[in-house]
Amino acid sequence: MAYVYLLVAIISEVIATTALKSAAGFTRPLPSAIVVLGYGTAFYCLSLVLRSLPVSITYAIWSGLGIVLVTLAGALVYKQIPDLAAWIGMGLIIAGVLVINLYSRTVVHP
């Protein structure tokens, strides 16, 4: 169940971060509400994840997938297309998260 909460946390954070640009410094009510709700949901779910997974592993997955998904959302919503170096960097981030999850003795699978 921890990984389900982590997925919800990541998706909520990606939605909130994507809406942050549209919130225009919290001057637009609807995007601002999405930001607050999204981050609130994300951190609540993250707190549930930390009951059973180590913080280091949780944060590696959270940040790695978050970076990639926010980049994809930025490309789709704001037409901010990453260049080759950005794609290579994100590939390395994904590889790092996979190495941690597949080979680290720190990972505890509930």
Structural domain spans, the chain:
2-103
Q: In this predicted structure, what is the pLDDT of residue 109?
A: 54
Query: For the whole model, what pTM was predicted?
Result: 0.85
Q: Which of 43, 49, 59 is nearest to 97 (CA)?
A: 59
Q: In this predicted structure, what is the pLDDT of residue 42?
A: 98
Q: In this predicted structure, what is the pLDDT of residue 54?
A: 87
Q: In this predicted structure, what is the pLDDT of residue 103?
A: 84
Query: What residues of the chain score a pLDDT lower than 50?
Result: none
Q: What are 2's two structure tokens?
A: 């921890």
> At 102, which helix (H) or strand (E)?
helix 84-103
Q: What are 67's two structure tokens?
A: 């970076």
Q: In this predicted structure, what is the pLDDT of residue 107?
A: 60
Main-chain phi, psi angles of 51, to 5 degrees:
-70, -30
